[in-house]
Amino acid sequence: MLEFIRANQTITRGHNIFWEDPKYTPQWVCDLTGPELQLTVNSCIQSLMNKYKEEFIHWDVSNEMLYFDFYEQRLGPNATLHFYEIAHMSDPLATLLVNEFNVVETCSDVNSTVDTYIPRMRELERGGVSMDGIGLEGHFTIPNPPLMRAILDKLATLGLPIWLIEAIYLEEVLTEGFSHPSMNGIMLWTALHPNGCYQMCLIDNNFQNLLVGEMVDKLLKNGKQGRYKV
């Protein structure tokens, strides 16, 4: 895959190093405790980031830490801070992000609102974490553009670039995202399925545009024509 990416000069990002949900943590890792787990965590960060040093422009170091806390439960409250310290030392040029869901989609989720995300980011900042961006998943049921705009405005007070990592309801969400001055980019989740593409894929298995690809091309064209920021 990387040979293809290099040959086609495609920018690549890493998602993710750690997923705080134990359900998605390998069983052999769940069985580790104390110094053994800490050694494994350090090795995981260093081996990944050294192997792909200067190849991956982004790393979602910690995924969904507002909902789950597997590593902090096992290694103490500074576990996440330690992730970012080791990651930054391993590849100082990589952009390091946190990734979270139900921050920009809704204000009804007590675990993951903008008012829980911001204090957590500031806490990491006070601990000395060099954070480079805010990752937002976009699992929208029905998008609410005014709410999305207000939440992006709040997150912008952190002074960090914002990346919308996954999004559906494309036209509304992407237009709103592209239009916000703190939005640095939008990633589309385009996983392949054995029987063909999911609904978010840009192209089919023959590299021909699907409806999603047509929509993105249209939005990019409108952006180049100055109808909104790209």
Residue 85 known to be catalytic: no
Choice among 100, 137, 166, 176 that is catalytic: 166
Radius of gyration of the chain (CA): 18
Is 36 designated active site?
Answer: no
Active-site position among 64, 100, 105, 137: 64
Nearby residues of 202 by Cβ (< 8 Å), 6 or more positions away: 188, 190, 209, 210, 212, 213, 216
Task: Report d(CA 11, CA 58) in Å as an integer.
Answer: 10
Cα–Cα distance for residue pair 198/204, rounded to 1 Å: 9
Bond before 195 cis per omega within 30 degrees? no
The structure tokens listed for 71 are 């590593």
**Structural element, H or E, at residue 214:** helix 211-224
Partners of 133 in the beta sheet? 97
Catalytic residue IDs: 64, 166
